C-alpha cells in the first residue's frame, strides 16, 4: 500500500483511501496519521467495525475510534473525511438524514448467487432474511413485504429518546444489524454509532 501511494503521489494523482478502523490502526495512530499526511491523500473514508456478535468492549472501541477520526480531521485538515463531511453536508443543505444505512428504509436489495434476495448484505448467509427470489419478486410491492417491517421502522424519529438528541438531524439511526446483534433489539437505534454521531 505504501509503495502504491508513493507512486500515485509522484504522478500527482489525487486519490482517496477507505480505511477500516481496526485496533491496529487506532493503536498506531501517530504512525498512520504521519503516513497519511506524507502521501497527501485527498479523501478518506473511515469505516468503524460493526459488531454482529455480543462484545462487551463495544463502547471502548467506539470511543477510541471516534477520537481517532476527530484527531485525523484536525491533523489532515486539507483532506476530506467522508463521515464528517456527510454530517456537515446534511446540516449545510438542511437535509434530514432519515436512515443511517441503505438497508434501513429499504433503499437496497442484495442479490444472492442462487437469485434469492434480501435487504442487508450483513444477513447474506441467513436464510430467514430471504424475502423472495429475483425471478418472482415484484419491486413495485417491495414496501408491502411483512419481513421488511423492521427495516422500514429503523429510524431515529421512531425513538422517544432520540427525539431529544442534538444529533437527530444528521444521525439516521446507525446500523440495523449491529443494533440487532449487539443489543438484541432490532427495532432500537444503534447506540454504538451514537458515540460517533454525537461527537
More confident residue, 51 or 187: 51
* Mean pLDDT across 169-187: 81
pLDDT over 90 at 189, yes or no = no
- Between CA 177 and CA 150 the distance in angstroms is 11
User: E strands along the chain, which residues?
Assistant: 16-20, 43-47, 80-81, 110-111, 116-118, 132-133
Whole-number pLDDT of residue 5: 61
For 157-169, what is each residue's pLDDT tens digit? Answer: 888 888 999 888 8
For 81-91, what is each residue's pLDDT tens digit? Answer: 777 778 788 88
Reading the block at residue 70, the C-alpha cell is 476527530
Whole-number pLDDT of residue 34: 92
Close Cβ partners of 164 (under 8 Å, ≥ 6 residues apart): none
Half-sphere exposure of 107 (CA within 13 A, CB side): 11
Q: Helix or strand or coil: residue 192?
A: helix
Q: What is the DSSP letter of 57?
A: T
Return the domain boundaries, the chain. 2-93, 96-199
Tell me what percent of the residues of the chain surpass a pLDDT of 90: 19
* Mean pLDDT across 53-65: 91
Whole-number pLDDT of residue 59: 94
Amino acid at each position: 500500500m505504501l509503495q502504491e501511494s508513493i507512486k500515485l503521489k509522484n504522478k500527482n494523482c489525487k486519490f482517496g483511501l477507505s480505511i477500516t478502523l481496526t485496533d491496529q490502526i487506532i493503536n498506531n495512530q501517530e504512525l498512520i496519521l504521519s503516513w497519511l499526511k506524507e502521501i497527501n491523500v485527498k479523501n478518506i473514508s473511515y469505516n468503524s467495525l460493526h459488531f454482529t456478535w455480543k462484545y462487551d468492549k463495544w463502547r471502548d472501541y467506539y470511543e477510541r475510534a471516534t477520537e481517532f477520526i476527530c484527531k485525523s480531521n484536525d491533523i489532515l485538515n486539507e483532506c476530506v473525511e467522508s463521515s464528517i463531511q456527510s454530517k456537515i453536508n446534511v446540516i449545510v443543505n438542511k437535509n434530514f438524514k432519515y436512515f443511517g444505512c441503505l438497508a434501513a428504509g429499504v433503499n437496497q436489495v442484495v442479490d444472492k448467487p442462487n437469485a434469492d434476495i434480501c435487504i442487508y448484505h450483513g444477513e447474506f448467509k441467513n436464510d430467514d432474511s430471504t424475502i423472495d427470489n429475483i425471478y418472482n419478486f415484484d419491486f413495485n410491492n417491495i414496501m408491502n413485504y411483512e419481513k421488511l417491517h423492521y427495516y422500514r421502522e429503523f429510524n431515529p424519529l421512531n425513538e422517544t429518546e432520540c427525539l431529544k438528541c442534538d444529533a437527530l438531524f444528521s444521525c439516521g439511526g446507525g446500523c440495523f444489524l449491529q443494533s440487532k446483534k449487539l443489543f438484541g433489539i432490532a427495532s432500537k437505534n444503534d447506540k454504538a454509532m451514537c458515540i460517533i454521531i454525537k461527537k
